[in-house]
Amino acid sequence: MGAVSSYPARAVVDLAAIRSNVRSLSAHAPSAQVMAVVKADAYGHGLVPSATAAVAGGATWLGAAQVPEALALRAAGLAGPRILTWLYGPGAPLREAVEADVDLSVSAHWAFEEVVTAARAAGRAARVHLKVDTGLGRNGLTASDFAALLPAVLRAEADGAVRLVGVWSHLAFADEPEHPAVRAQEVAFAEAVRLAEDAGARLEVRHLANSAATLTNPSIHYDLVRPGIAVYGLSPVPQLGGPADFGLVPAMTLEAPLVNVKEWPAGAGMSYAHQYVTERDTVIGLVPLGYADGVPRHASGTADAPGGPLLVGGRVLGVAGRVCMDQVVVDLGPGATDRAGDRVELFGTGAGGGPTAEDWARVAGTISYEIVTRIGPRVPRVHVDSEPDARVDAVPSPSAENEVRA
Ligand SMILES: *Cc1c(COP(=O)(O)O)cnc(C)c1O
Protein backbone atom coordinates (compact mmCIF):
# COMPACT_ATOMS: atom_id res chain seq x y z
CA MET A 1 0.00 0.00 0.00
CA GLY A 2 1.05 3.56 -0.43
CA ALA A 3 0.31 6.81 -2.13
CA VAL A 4 0.39 6.74 -5.91
CA SER A 5 2.68 9.65 -6.54
CA SER A 6 1.07 10.50 -9.88
CA TYR A 7 -2.34 10.87 -8.24
CA PRO A 8 -3.53 14.39 -8.91
CA ALA A 9 -5.06 15.10 -5.50
CA ARG A 10 -2.58 15.86 -2.74
CA ALA A 11 -2.11 17.21 0.74
CA VAL A 12 0.65 19.80 0.58
CA VAL A 13 2.37 20.30 3.94
CA ASP A 14 4.48 23.41 4.48
CA LEU A 15 7.32 22.55 6.85
CA ALA A 16 8.07 26.25 7.37
CA ALA A 17 4.59 26.62 8.90
CA ILE A 18 5.31 23.79 11.36
CA ARG A 19 8.63 25.39 12.37
CA SER A 20 7.01 28.76 12.79
CA ASN A 21 4.10 27.32 14.80
CA VAL A 22 6.51 25.66 17.24
CA ARG A 23 8.34 28.97 17.62
CA SER A 24 5.00 30.66 18.40
CA LEU A 25 4.12 28.00 20.94
CA SER A 26 7.52 28.44 22.62
CA ALA A 27 6.83 32.16 22.82
CA HIS A 28 3.47 31.43 24.49
CA ALA A 29 5.23 29.20 27.04
CA PRO A 30 8.64 30.85 27.52
CA SER A 31 9.45 29.04 30.75
CA ALA A 32 8.64 25.55 29.43
CA GLN A 33 10.11 23.16 26.91
CA VAL A 34 7.91 22.14 24.00
CA MET A 35 6.89 18.55 23.25
CA ALA A 36 5.47 18.48 19.72
CA VAL A 37 2.84 15.76 19.69
CA VAL A 38 3.25 13.80 16.46
CA LYS A 39 0.86 10.90 17.05
CA ALA A 40 -1.35 9.61 14.23
CA ASP A 41 1.20 10.34 11.51
CA ALA A 42 1.65 13.84 12.89
CA TYR A 43 -2.09 14.50 12.75
CA GLY A 44 -2.05 13.30 9.14
CA HIS A 45 0.83 15.59 8.10
CA GLY A 46 3.49 12.87 7.75
CA LEU A 47 5.39 11.64 10.80
CA VAL A 48 9.07 12.09 10.07
CA PRO A 49 9.09 15.30 8.00
CA SER A 50 6.72 16.95 10.47
CA ALA A 51 8.68 15.83 13.52
CA THR A 52 11.92 16.99 11.90
CA ALA A 53 10.40 20.40 11.21
CA ALA A 54 9.07 20.65 14.77
CA VAL A 55 12.55 19.96 16.13
CA ALA A 56 13.99 22.58 13.78
CA GLY A 57 11.43 25.00 15.21
CA GLY A 58 12.68 24.36 18.74
CA ALA A 59 10.77 21.35 20.06
CA THR A 60 13.09 19.42 22.40
CA TRP A 61 10.54 16.65 22.97
CA LEU A 62 8.31 14.62 20.65
CA GLY A 63 5.12 12.92 21.82
CA ALA A 64 3.89 9.69 20.25
CA ALA A 65 0.78 7.89 21.47
CA GLN A 66 1.95 4.46 20.34
CA VAL A 67 5.26 2.68 20.85
CA PRO A 68 5.76 1.90 17.12
CA GLU A 69 5.37 5.60 16.31
CA ALA A 70 8.10 6.43 18.82
CA LEU A 71 10.39 3.71 17.45
CA ALA A 72 9.79 4.97 13.90
CA LEU A 73 11.06 8.41 14.92
CA ARG A 74 14.31 6.97 16.29
CA ALA A 75 14.68 4.64 13.29
CA ALA A 76 14.39 7.68 11.01
CA GLY A 77 17.41 9.21 12.72
CA LEU A 78 15.73 11.62 15.12
CA ALA A 79 18.29 11.05 17.87
CA GLY A 80 18.32 14.44 19.58
CA PRO A 81 14.87 15.01 21.04
CA ARG A 82 13.45 13.22 24.02
CA ILE A 83 10.50 11.06 22.98
CA LEU A 84 7.58 10.07 25.20
CA THR A 85 5.05 7.35 24.38
CA TRP A 86 2.00 6.60 26.47
CA LEU A 87 -0.55 4.23 24.98
CA TYR A 88 0.21 0.52 24.93
CA GLY A 89 -1.14 -2.76 26.15
CA PRO A 90 0.37 -5.83 27.78
CA GLY A 91 3.12 -7.35 25.63
CA ALA A 92 4.13 -4.10 23.88
CA PRO A 93 7.76 -3.85 22.66
CA LEU A 94 8.92 -1.91 25.73
CA ARG A 95 12.43 -3.38 25.69
CA GLU A 96 12.95 -1.91 22.21
CA ALA A 97 11.63 1.39 23.50
CA VAL A 98 14.07 1.42 26.42
CA GLU A 99 16.93 0.49 24.11
CA ALA A 100 15.93 3.33 21.78
CA ASP A 101 15.96 5.81 24.69
CA VAL A 102 12.21 6.37 24.48
CA ASP A 103 10.53 7.57 27.68
CA LEU A 104 7.57 5.46 28.81
CA SER A 105 4.41 6.60 30.50
CA VAL A 106 3.02 4.36 33.23
CA SER A 107 -0.74 4.43 33.83
CA ALA A 108 -1.30 1.11 35.60
CA HIS A 109 0.44 -1.32 37.93
CA TRP A 110 0.83 -4.01 35.24
CA ALA A 111 2.50 -1.43 32.99
CA PHE A 112 5.03 -0.60 35.67
CA GLU A 113 5.91 -4.30 36.05
CA GLU A 114 6.38 -4.64 32.29
CA VAL A 115 8.56 -1.52 32.19
CA VAL A 116 10.80 -2.91 34.95
CA THR A 117 11.08 -6.25 33.14
CA ALA A 118 11.93 -4.42 29.90
CA ALA A 119 14.58 -2.31 31.62
CA ARG A 120 16.25 -5.37 33.15
CA ALA A 121 16.26 -7.07 29.72
CA ALA A 122 17.71 -3.97 28.09
CA GLY A 123 20.33 -3.55 30.81
CA ARG A 124 19.57 0.10 31.36
CA ALA A 125 17.17 2.21 33.38
CA ALA A 126 13.81 2.97 31.80
CA ARG A 127 12.85 6.64 31.86
CA VAL A 128 9.33 6.73 33.33
CA HIS A 129 6.59 9.36 33.50
CA LEU A 130 3.80 8.50 35.93
CA LYS A 131 0.46 9.54 34.49
CA VAL A 132 -2.22 10.51 36.94
CA ASP A 133 -5.88 10.73 36.00
CA THR A 134 -6.80 14.05 37.60
CA GLY A 135 -10.35 13.88 36.29
CA LEU A 136 -10.34 13.25 32.55
CA GLY A 137 -11.67 9.75 33.10
CA ARG A 138 -9.48 8.12 30.47
CA ASN A 139 -5.92 6.84 30.89
CA GLY A 140 -3.76 7.35 33.99
CA LEU A 141 -3.58 6.17 37.57
CA THR A 142 -6.29 7.23 39.98
CA ALA A 143 -5.00 9.37 42.83
CA SER A 144 -5.09 6.40 45.20
CA ASP A 145 -3.36 4.04 42.71
CA PHE A 146 -0.75 6.75 42.13
CA ALA A 147 -0.06 6.98 45.87
CA ALA A 148 0.06 3.20 46.15
CA LEU A 149 2.48 2.71 43.23
CA LEU A 150 4.84 5.58 44.05
CA PRO A 151 6.93 3.76 46.72
CA ALA A 152 7.54 0.82 44.35
CA VAL A 153 8.66 3.22 41.61
CA LEU A 154 11.10 4.98 43.94
CA ARG A 155 12.45 1.60 45.13
CA ALA A 156 12.96 0.54 41.51
CA GLU A 157 14.74 3.84 40.92
CA ALA A 158 17.06 3.13 43.86
CA ASP A 159 17.73 -0.29 42.30
CA GLY A 160 18.63 1.32 38.98
CA ALA A 161 15.74 -0.24 37.02
CA VAL A 162 13.94 3.01 36.32
CA ARG A 163 14.45 6.75 36.44
CA LEU A 164 11.27 8.60 37.50
CA VAL A 165 11.52 11.51 35.11
CA GLY A 166 8.04 12.95 35.09
CA VAL A 167 4.58 13.24 36.53
CA TRP A 168 1.89 14.21 34.07
CA SER A 169 -1.80 14.41 33.32
CA HIS A 170 -4.26 15.48 30.62
CA LEU A 171 -7.20 17.90 30.79
CA ALA A 172 -10.85 17.20 29.96
CA PHE A 173 -11.89 20.82 29.30
CA ALA A 174 -8.71 22.56 28.16
CA ASP A 175 -10.67 24.11 25.30
CA GLU A 176 -13.00 25.78 27.85
CA PRO A 177 -10.42 27.57 30.01
CA GLU A 178 -13.06 28.92 32.41
CA HIS A 179 -14.66 25.53 33.06
CA PRO A 180 -14.46 24.60 36.77
CA ALA A 181 -13.16 21.13 35.87
CA VAL A 182 -9.92 22.76 34.65
CA ARG A 183 -9.28 24.27 38.07
CA ALA A 184 -10.16 21.00 39.81
CA GLN A 185 -7.66 19.11 37.63
CA GLU A 186 -4.97 21.73 38.26
CA VAL A 187 -5.41 21.23 42.00
CA ALA A 188 -5.37 17.43 41.73
CA PHE A 189 -2.26 17.58 39.56
CA ALA A 190 -0.41 19.87 41.96
CA GLU A 191 -1.30 17.44 44.74
CA ALA A 192 0.13 14.45 42.82
CA VAL A 193 3.33 16.35 42.08
CA ARG A 194 3.67 17.37 45.72
CA LEU A 195 3.13 13.78 46.85
CA ALA A 196 5.86 12.53 44.51
CA GLU A 197 8.34 15.25 45.44
CA ASP A 198 7.68 14.83 49.17
CA ALA A 199 8.42 11.12 48.72
CA GLY A 200 11.80 12.02 47.24
CA ALA A 201 11.14 12.08 43.49
CA ARG A 202 13.58 14.28 41.57
CA LEU A 203 11.37 15.11 38.60
CA GLU A 204 12.81 16.54 35.40
CA VAL A 205 9.44 17.48 33.96
CA ARG A 206 5.93 18.03 35.23
CA HIS A 207 3.48 18.45 32.37
CA LEU A 208 -0.23 19.06 31.93
CA ALA A 209 -0.84 21.49 29.05
CA ASN A 210 -2.03 20.53 25.55
CA SER A 211 -2.41 23.11 22.76
CA ALA A 212 -5.41 24.83 24.31
CA ALA A 213 -3.77 25.18 27.71
CA THR A 214 -0.48 26.25 26.13
CA LEU A 215 -2.28 29.12 24.40
CA THR A 216 -4.79 30.11 27.09
CA ASN A 217 -3.59 28.98 30.52
CA PRO A 218 -0.01 30.06 31.35
CA SER A 219 -0.39 29.11 35.01
CA ILE A 220 -0.19 25.41 34.14
CA HIS A 221 2.69 25.34 31.68
CA TYR A 222 4.97 23.76 34.30
CA ASP A 223 8.24 22.49 32.76
CA LEU A 224 6.92 21.13 29.50
CA VAL A 225 3.90 21.81 27.27
CA ARG A 226 2.47 19.19 24.90
CA PRO A 227 0.81 20.90 21.93
CA GLY A 228 -0.47 18.79 19.06
CA ILE A 229 -3.06 20.50 16.86
CA ALA A 230 -1.43 23.94 17.21
CA VAL A 231 1.86 22.58 15.86
CA TYR A 232 -0.03 22.04 12.61
CA GLY A 233 -1.44 25.55 12.74
CA LEU A 234 -5.05 24.85 13.68
CA SER A 235 -6.80 26.54 16.59
CA PRO A 236 -7.69 24.28 19.52
CA VAL A 237 -10.20 26.91 20.66
CA PRO A 238 -11.97 28.12 17.50
CA GLN A 239 -14.64 29.82 19.61
CA LEU A 240 -11.91 32.02 21.15
CA GLY A 241 -9.77 32.69 18.10
CA GLY A 242 -8.51 31.44 14.77
CA PRO A 243 -4.93 30.43 13.96
CA ALA A 244 -3.77 33.98 13.20
CA ASP A 245 -4.97 35.18 16.59
CA PHE A 246 -2.46 32.82 18.20
CA GLY A 247 0.37 33.33 15.72
CA LEU A 248 -0.28 30.04 13.94
CA VAL A 249 -0.34 29.14 10.25
CA PRO A 250 -2.22 26.05 9.01
CA ALA A 251 0.39 23.72 7.52
CA MET A 252 -1.76 21.50 5.31
CA THR A 253 -3.46 22.40 2.04
CA LEU A 254 -5.73 19.75 0.49
CA GLU A 255 -6.09 20.23 -3.23
CA ALA A 256 -7.08 18.48 -6.44
CA PRO A 257 -7.67 19.44 -10.05
CA LEU A 258 -11.07 19.41 -11.67
CA VAL A 259 -11.12 16.17 -13.67
CA ASN A 260 -14.36 16.76 -15.55
CA VAL A 261 -16.43 19.83 -16.40
CA LYS A 262 -19.74 19.71 -18.25
CA GLU A 263 -23.06 21.44 -18.83
CA TRP A 264 -25.96 20.23 -16.73
CA PRO A 265 -29.61 21.23 -17.18
CA ALA A 266 -32.01 22.95 -14.79
CA GLY A 267 -33.97 20.61 -12.55
CA ALA A 268 -31.42 17.79 -12.77
CA GLY A 269 -30.02 15.95 -9.76
CA MET A 270 -26.34 15.66 -8.93
CA SER A 271 -24.56 12.71 -7.32
CA TYR A 272 -26.13 9.73 -5.53
CA ALA A 273 -29.78 10.06 -4.54
CA HIS A 274 -30.00 13.49 -6.20
CA GLN A 275 -29.85 15.27 -2.89
CA TYR A 276 -28.93 18.45 -4.79
CA VAL A 277 -31.04 19.51 -7.79
CA THR A 278 -29.94 22.33 -10.10
CA GLU A 279 -32.13 25.43 -10.20
CA ARG A 280 -30.99 26.57 -13.64
CA ASP A 281 -28.92 25.41 -16.55
CA THR A 282 -25.43 25.32 -15.16
CA VAL A 283 -21.93 23.88 -15.43
CA ILE A 284 -20.76 21.21 -13.00
CA GLY A 285 -17.29 20.05 -12.06
CA LEU A 286 -15.88 16.82 -10.66
CA VAL A 287 -13.22 16.77 -7.91
CA PRO A 288 -11.35 13.47 -7.36
CA LEU A 289 -11.45 13.34 -3.54
CA GLY A 290 -14.09 11.50 -1.53
CA TYR A 291 -14.78 9.91 1.79
CA ALA A 292 -12.11 7.25 1.22
CA ASP A 293 -9.69 10.17 1.18
CA GLY A 294 -11.13 11.63 4.37
CA VAL A 295 -13.68 14.05 2.93
CA PRO A 296 -16.49 13.68 5.46
CA ARG A 297 -19.73 12.30 4.01
CA HIS A 298 -21.47 14.49 6.58
CA ALA A 299 -20.26 17.46 4.52
CA SER A 300 -22.57 16.56 1.62
CA GLY A 301 -24.62 19.48 0.28
CA THR A 302 -28.19 20.27 -0.71
CA ALA A 303 -29.58 23.34 -2.47
CA ASP A 304 -30.53 24.75 0.96
CA ALA A 305 -27.42 23.78 2.89
CA PRO A 306 -24.20 23.89 0.88
CA GLY A 307 -21.70 21.16 1.64
CA GLY A 308 -18.03 21.48 2.48
CA PRO A 309 -16.38 24.56 0.93
CA LEU A 310 -14.25 24.41 -2.21
CA LEU A 311 -12.12 27.24 -3.60
CA VAL A 312 -12.42 27.17 -7.40
CA GLY A 313 -11.18 29.96 -9.64
CA GLY A 314 -11.14 32.47 -6.79
CA ARG A 315 -14.67 31.75 -5.53
CA VAL A 316 -15.77 29.60 -2.60
CA LEU A 317 -18.47 27.10 -3.61
CA GLY A 318 -19.99 24.18 -1.71
CA VAL A 319 -19.99 20.47 -2.38
CA ALA A 320 -23.23 19.78 -4.29
CA GLY A 321 -24.97 16.53 -3.36
CA ARG A 322 -23.52 13.46 -1.72
CA VAL A 323 -19.85 13.05 -1.01
CA CYS A 324 -18.93 9.77 -2.76
CA MET A 325 -16.11 7.35 -1.97
CA ASP A 326 -13.67 8.82 -4.49
CA GLN A 327 -15.15 12.11 -5.64
CA VAL A 328 -17.39 15.08 -5.03
CA VAL A 329 -19.29 17.30 -7.46
CA VAL A 330 -19.50 21.08 -7.46
CA ASP A 331 -22.02 23.39 -9.16
CA LEU A 332 -19.75 25.87 -10.91
CA GLY A 333 -22.64 28.11 -11.97
CA PRO A 334 -24.16 29.15 -15.32
CA GLY A 335 -21.58 29.99 -17.96
CA ALA A 336 -18.64 28.96 -15.77
CA THR A 337 -15.39 28.91 -17.70
CA ASP A 338 -13.48 26.56 -15.39
CA ARG A 339 -11.73 23.69 -17.16
CA ALA A 340 -10.47 20.23 -16.38
CA GLY A 341 -7.07 20.63 -14.73
CA ASP A 342 -7.98 23.82 -12.85
CA ARG A 343 -7.02 23.69 -9.20
CA VAL A 344 -9.58 23.19 -6.44
CA GLU A 345 -8.60 23.83 -2.82
CA LEU A 346 -10.65 22.10 -0.14
CA PHE A 347 -8.78 23.74 2.70
CA GLY A 348 -5.52 25.54 3.36
CA THR A 349 -4.15 28.51 5.22
CA GLY A 350 -7.39 30.47 4.89
CA ALA A 351 -5.45 33.39 3.40
CA GLY A 352 -7.62 35.59 1.23
CA GLY A 353 -10.84 34.04 2.52
CA GLY A 354 -10.05 30.53 1.32
CA PRO A 355 -11.65 27.58 3.11
CA THR A 356 -10.03 26.04 6.20
CA ALA A 357 -10.10 22.67 7.96
CA GLU A 358 -12.10 24.48 10.64
CA ASP A 359 -14.75 25.39 8.03
CA TRP A 360 -15.02 21.71 7.05
CA ALA A 361 -15.27 20.72 10.69
CA ARG A 362 -18.18 23.10 11.20
CA VAL A 363 -20.06 21.78 8.15
CA ALA A 364 -19.45 18.15 9.15
CA GLY A 365 -20.23 18.63 12.85
CA THR A 366 -16.76 17.67 14.05
CA ILE A 367 -13.42 19.26 15.01
CA SER A 368 -10.52 20.26 12.79
CA TYR A 369 -8.41 17.52 14.40
CA GLU A 370 -10.59 14.90 12.74
CA ILE A 371 -10.54 16.65 9.36
CA VAL A 372 -6.73 16.53 9.05
CA THR A 373 -6.04 13.20 10.78
CA ARG A 374 -8.55 11.33 8.63
CA ILE A 375 -6.98 12.25 5.28
CA GLY A 376 -6.57 8.79 3.78
CA PRO A 377 -3.31 6.97 3.08
CA ARG A 378 -3.78 7.10 -0.69
CA VAL A 379 -3.58 10.90 -0.69
CA PRO A 380 0.08 11.78 -1.28
CA ARG A 381 1.59 14.07 1.34
CA VAL A 382 3.80 16.49 -0.50
CA HIS A 383 6.21 18.28 1.81
CA VAL A 384 7.30 21.73 0.73
CA ASP A 385 9.27 24.43 2.46
CA SER A 386 8.16 27.99 1.83
CA GLU A 387 11.23 29.34 3.67
CA PRO A 388 14.06 26.97 2.81
CA ASP A 389 16.73 29.48 3.88
CA ALA A 390 15.33 29.57 7.42
CA ARG A 391 16.04 25.90 8.06
CA VAL A 392 18.31 25.00 10.90
CA ASP A 393 21.34 23.52 9.18
CA ALA A 394 22.05 20.94 11.85
CA VAL A 395 18.73 19.25 11.30
CA PRO A 396 18.25 17.05 8.25
CA SER A 397 15.41 18.45 6.20
CA PRO A 398 13.55 16.84 3.35
CA SER A 399 14.21 18.28 -0.06
CA ALA A 400 12.00 21.08 -1.22
CA GLU A 401 9.35 18.89 -2.74
CA ASN A 402 9.41 15.39 -1.43
CA GLU A 403 6.51 12.97 -1.65
CA VAL A 404 6.34 10.80 1.40
CA ARG A 405 4.55 7.50 1.18
CA ALA A 406 2.00 7.03 3.92
C1 LIG B 1 -3.14 14.28 21.77
C2 LIG B 1 -2.60 14.66 23.07
C3 LIG B 1 -2.01 15.92 23.28
C4 LIG B 1 -2.07 17.02 22.26
O5 LIG B 1 -3.38 17.54 22.27
P6 LIG B 1 -3.78 18.82 21.36
O7 LIG B 1 -5.16 19.15 21.81
O8 LIG B 1 -3.74 18.34 19.95
O9 LIG B 1 -2.79 19.86 21.65
C10 LIG B 1 -1.39 16.15 24.50
N11 LIG B 1 -1.36 15.21 25.45
C12 LIG B 1 -1.96 14.00 25.29
C13 LIG B 1 -1.92 13.01 26.40
C14 LIG B 1 -2.60 13.69 24.11
O15 LIG B 1 -3.20 12.50 23.97
Are 211 and 193 in contact, with CB atoms under 8 Å apart? Answer: no
Predicted confidence (pLDDT) at residue 396 exceeds the cutoff of 70: no
Ligand 1 atom showing the smallest separation from residue 139 Cα: 13
158-170 confidence digits (pLDDT tens) = 999 999 999 999 9
Looking at residue 389, what is its pLDDT? 76
Known binding residue 325? Answer is yes
Model pLDDT, residue 392: 53
> What is the 364 CA–ligand 1 centroid distance (Å)?
22
**Options 88, 222, 272, 291, the catalytic residue:** 272
pLDDT in tens, 291-334: 999 999 999 999 899 999 999 999 999 999 999 999 999 999 99
Angle between helices 67-75 and 47-56 (to 10 degrees): 70
Which domains are seen in the chain, by residue range?
Answer: 60-230 (3.20.20.10), 252-384 (2.40.37.10)
Q: What is the pLDDT of residues 383-393, one digit of tens each?
A: 999 998 765 54
Q: Is 262 among the residues known to form the active site?
A: no
266: three-class secondary structure by DSSP: coil
pLDDT digits (tens, 9 = 90+) for 49-69: 999 999 999 999 999 999 999
Ligand 1 neighbours (beta carbon < 6 A): 37, 39, 170, 210-211, 226-230, 236
137-155: per-residue pLDDT in tens?
999 999 999 999 999 999 9
The answer to whether the annotation marks 138 as part of a ligand binding site is yes
Q: Is 39 marked active-site?
A: yes
Radius of gyration (C-alpha) of the chain in whole angstroms = 23
Q: Is pLDDT of 119 > 80?
A: yes
Instruction: Tell me whether strands 402-404 and 381-384 are parallel, antiparallel or unpaired.
Output: antiparallel
Which of 84, 170, 237 is the best mutation target for the ligand 1 pocket, counting ligand atoms within 8 Å of the beta carbon and taking the most? 170
Q: Could you tell me the distance, in angstroms and rounded to a whole number, from the CA of residue 352 to the centre of ligand 1?
A: 30
pLDDT band at 275 (very low <50, low <70, confident <90, very high): very high
Q: Whose CA is nearest to atom 6 of ligand 1?
A: 228
Residues 6+ apart with CB under 8 A from 91: 114
